[in-house]
Amino acid sequence: MMEKQTILGAGLVFSTLDQLLSQQQAARLLMQKKPYRKASQQTGSHQVRQLGRGMEFAESRLYSPGDDIRSMDWKVTARTGQAYTKLFEEERERPVLLWCDLRPTMFFATQGQFKSVVMSELSALLAWKSWLNGDRIGAQIVTTEHSQALRPARSKSKVLQLLQTLAHDSQQRPELNQSSAVNLADTWKRLRRVLTPGSQVVLLSDFRGLNAEAEKQLQRVARHAELTLIAISDPFEHKLPQNTQLKLTDGLRFFRLNTAKPTVQSSYQAQNETQTRYIQRLATQCHARLVSISTDDSDTVRLAKLRGDGL
């Protein structure tokens, strides 16, 4: 019988449960970033740095628009002549919700792994990290046909349930011409309904299909949660290869694309820049962290990007 590790396409075009289970080691590496303060030994406690009335003063930093005026550090402000606000540290068990995109556009790559595989591995990594931190982990998994919700719980069985679902759904590749029956606005509206104040929400997607209604729903999510957007893309989506004839199909139609034409290159580049700016603007409006991951990023590069954005 063929071993799981040698199954054609495993880890490239679809995920396996074994590969997602192995992300626990990457989660431990991710947790080795700059220790801030010694955490409590109590099971289920987690140190969260936030503005507002916390349990323990951490530090002061320059005031930013939107900071709670009640947390102003008046002594430092008077001494420096610049507005400073206090940062507090609170120990609590935090709900972490992962929004996992397995819509048709995620089943694509020209280099490295499919976007769906990258998404599944990153979701597994963050789920393990949350469990190791003592957080309650939940998820919303969006596929071509449905949106499945896993309510937050602090248990290893919840992590395993999430990984099993991701491994299964990542192997259900949609037909080439199949479009998703769900849209971003509807799934983010459902996501908002299950949020509790103080939750951390991580969206892992290529964010194709963004529109005004989806933008509105995401802004509402951001009012109740600490939001992180992990934008997954393939190098081909940013730049076409030079001087070549591409054969393309959507499953029904076939056509050729001559990338040697300057108009083709410039139009494609402009479309990519529009999409990139749109996501950046949305992250800014939602006061969200934005992490950009490429399908050809190595595991080391992925970890470095996640560390740099405080995950």
Task: List, in order of start, the domains of the chain with CATH numbers.
Answer: 4-33+93-308 (3.40.50.410), 47-91 (no CATH)
CA triple 111-264-259, angle to 5 deg: 50
User: For residues 210 and 216, what is the distance between their CA atoms, to the nearest angstrom?
Assistant: 10
Helix axes 156-169, 115-133, angle to 10 degrees: 180
User: For residues 2 and 23, what is the distance between their CA atoms, to the nearest angstrom?
Assistant: 23
Q: Chain centroid to CA 181: how far?
A: 22
- List the chain residues with pLDDT less than 70: 1-6, 33-57, 88-92, 176-181, 250-251, 309-311
The pLDDT score that the predictor gives to residue 89 is: 59
Condensed to tens digits (0 to 9), the pLDDT of residues 192-243 reads 988 888 899 999 999 999 999 999 999 999 998 999 999 999 999 998 888 8
Condensed to tens digits (0 to 9), the pLDDT of residues 120-147 reads 999 999 999 999 999 999 999 999 888 8
User: For residues 269 and 257, what is the distance between their CA atoms, to the nearest angstrom?
Assistant: 14
CB 309 within 8 A of CB 226: no
